[in-house]
Structure 1
Amino acid sequence: MKKKKSKERRWLERWTTMGEKERRAEGVIEHKPYDHKADVFSFGIVLWELLTCKLAGWHVDLASLGILGLRPTIPKTTHPKLTELLERCWQHDPTLRPDFSEILGILQHIAKEVGDESDDRRKERSSGGFLSVLRRGH
């Protein structure tokens, strides 16, 4: 009789020394040589998770989608500069992905831009959850 796996065991089996499969770049999945730019791809997935309040891979296998060149859908209400950053982090060619120093600069620029908005506008946006200030039209 086959023994049923616990939730914890199933979660542990998904985890590898390279991170959860839903957040790995194509090069890592395909066992090709990779560098810190694979972490940039993963960072983009985590940033998307924070933005959308969704977990990658709960409904689809993002690792497989990554190999096919597909990416998570970015909400239309996302700040345009954040949309551009996510798209750059998810580039298939790792050399086209930004370095973390550039990512930091971009995020600081976005934070300053958002921070320069009126207090009323920020209060209105803050009710939408974490990172809601990076969404337009709220």
Structure 2
Amino acid sequence: MVFLGFADDVFDLRWRFKLILPTIASIPVLIVYYVGYGVTHVVVPVFMRSWLGTNTVELGILYYVYIGLMAVFCTNAINILAGINGVEVGQSIVIALSIIVKDIANINNANPEAEYYHLFSLYLLLPFVAVSCALYYWNVYPAH
């Protein structure tokens, strides 16, 4: 994915390559997830459990399609906004803060192994948000 950003800046890639390359790059991630975990169910939010009558929903192959499409969406959503003062890093801050809120909300409701992964996510995201806020300060319109 890092190579895609570099190649786009240097060679000014066409949109078809910006869709194909992340899709190809997500295949190893999907294979490792399938072999290592194979879990394709998602936890239903508390307020929807009474409507669905279950705590989890099994997505099967749609889970892998969703993850593959997210790889394409995330790389292109940030790349499209490159060059607009503060918007690119602002989007990264919003995404990171959303994940932090999700991790904090789920940290006490999870089993010990899941709690470890939520904490690990927080350990990575908190410095990322701090550095991104500093970048946002210097990059917001009008950029310094």
Query: So what's the TM-score if we normalise by structure 2?
Result: 0.34
- Which protein has the bigger helix share? 2
- Which protein has the bigger strand share? 2
Q: Which has the higher contact order (CA 8 A, sep 6+)?
A: 1
Query: So what's the TM-score if we normalise by structure 1?
Result: 0.35
